[in-house]
């Protein structure tokens, strides 16, 4: 077996180097998530409240602080799906290094604007991250700019590994850590620390089903690469790991599980509702795994790394609505109303009386199946569960002048 190329001593040095630049993020225990997962306790490592909104500043600053004067003078270029971009941009601002970031078209506007806000030039190139990565490498070769890799670099891995040091200090009872995998820099760094701990800590990687490349890479001999990715979790929508992270992860990762986009959306929803924290889809993926049946966490103390919180508010709203659908706490229905708009008042009052939330009420486009003397209306309802929602719809259907003609509980 090959030796992992990042040592605990290098991660300790990285912590000293980034001290005063990054936040020591909180570890928030959640009784709710422990009950839902069967764990003895769940500790949320909240990197979504880190500077730039994700863990990426740790590795970016650790790397760029070690560049030679010539490398700094040449300027830095990086490719990113968003969070590495902000980390590199902030590091460049703090270290007085000019930075250019290449991002794919799927990158949320909030991440692009935040990156520009740190003084970086942003170039949008490629439909997925791999195309952006190739373009950045080509440009670096032409211009002489210093390329800072988002994950396949020992200094990046060492910087991300500082999260593992904090986890052990803040949550010494930890039995299992759930960590998202994109390119593998985060889990390689955290895993290196946890596998050097005195207690036996299990390290489990989490990927979306639409970008699940890591497991075959870690279990086989080569690097498995996907032709394409399809996931809402753009922050971990990589098509492959690379040599550095594969080598390290093979030694420090015990297993990799995949979760669906709908499970991720449910995790985003529960984090907002129960933990009062905003997480992007990639950041919520480890919690989705904890709440699924993919891992046996019974009686364990489980660390869940919430790696980022950079998400557009409109995207977050859509994710939470999808999450409520997945949790069977949201339904949409089509009503036929007699005596518009008087019947609308009856609908609103009935929903409130039944203890539900009326999220949407709008007049619908009339179709050939609609009664010509009835007004078609669509509504969106949030409730405590499917039985509650069925009860609300039944109460609406019992109203004089109101008929429920179509419903969808999921």
- Catalytic residue, chosen from 30, 54, 217, 307, is 307
Strand arrangement, sheet containing 357-363: 357-363, 375-382, 330-337, 402-408
What are the backbone dihedrals phi and psi of residue 150, each rounded to the nearest 5 degrees, phi first?
-70, -20
* Residue 358 in tokens: 């009326």
Known catalytic residue at 195 = no
Q: What is the C-alpha separation between 240 and 211, in angstroms, rounded?
A: 9
**By CB neighbour count within 10 A (0-12 exposed, 13-18 middle, 19+ buried), where does 170 fall?**
middle
Known catalytic residue at 215 = no
Q: Which residues contact 249 (CB under 8 A, 6 or more apart)?
A: 181, 184, 187, 188, 191, 205, 214, 218, 241
Of residues 133, 176, 128, the one with CA closest to residue 290: 176
- Contact between 285 and 207 under an 8 Å Cβ cutoff? The reply is yes
- Catalytic residue, chosen from 56, 132, 195, 281, is 56
**By CB neighbour count within 10 A (0-12 exposed, 13-18 middle, 19+ buried), where does 228 fall?**
exposed
Catalytic residues: 56, 307
């Amino acid at each position: 077996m090959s030796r992992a190329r990042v040592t605990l001593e290098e991660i300790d040095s990285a912590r000293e180097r980034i001290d005063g630049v990054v936040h020591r993020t909180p570890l928030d225990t959640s009784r709710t998530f422990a009950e839902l997962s069967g764990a003895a306790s769940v500790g949320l490592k909240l990197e979504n409240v880190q500077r730039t909104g994700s863990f990426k500043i740790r590795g970016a600053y650790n790397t760029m602080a070690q560049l030679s004067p010539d490398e700094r003078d040449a300027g830095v270029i990086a490719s990113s799906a968003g969070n590495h971009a902000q980390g590199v941009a902030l590091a460049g601002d703090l270290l007085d290094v000019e930075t250019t970031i290449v991002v794919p078209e799927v990158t949320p506007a909030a991440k692009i604007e935040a990156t520009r806000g740190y003084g970086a030039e942003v170039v949008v190139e490629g439909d997925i991250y791999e195309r952006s990565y190739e373009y950045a490498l080509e440009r670096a070769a032409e211009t002489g700019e210093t390329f800072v890799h988002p994950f396949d670099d020992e200094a990046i891995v060492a910087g991300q590994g500082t999260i593992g040091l904090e986890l052990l200090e803040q949550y010494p009872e930890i039995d299992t850590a759930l960590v998202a995998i994109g390119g593998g820099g985060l889990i390689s760094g955290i895993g290196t620390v946890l596998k050097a701990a005195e207690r036996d800590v299990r390290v489990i990687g989490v990927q979306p089903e639409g970008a699940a490349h890591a497991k075959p890479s870690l279990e086989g001999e080569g690097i498995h690469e996907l032709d394409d990715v399809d996931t809402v979790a753009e922050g971990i929508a990589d098509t492959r790991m690379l040599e550095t992270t594969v080598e390290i992860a093979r030694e420090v990762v015990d297993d990799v599980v995949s979760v669906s986009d709908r499970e991720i959306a449910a995790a985003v929803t529960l984090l907002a509702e129960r933990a009062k924290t905003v997480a992007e889809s990639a950041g919520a993926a480890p919690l989705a795994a904890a709440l699924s049946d993919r891992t046996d966490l019974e009686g364990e103390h489980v660390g869940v790394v919430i790696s980022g919180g950079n998400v557009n508010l409109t995207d977050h709203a859509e994710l939470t609505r999808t999450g409520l659908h997945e949790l069977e706490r949201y339904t949409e229905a089509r009503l036929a109303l007699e005596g518009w708009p008087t019947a609308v008042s009856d609908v609103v009052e009935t929903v409130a009386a039944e203890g539900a939330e009326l999220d949407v009420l709008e007049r619908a486009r009339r179709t050939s199946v609609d009664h010509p003397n009835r007004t078609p209306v669509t509504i969106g309802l949030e409730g405590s569960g499917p039985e509650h929602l069925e009860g609300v719809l039944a109460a609406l259907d019992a109203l004089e002048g109101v008929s429920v003609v179509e419903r969808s509980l999921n």
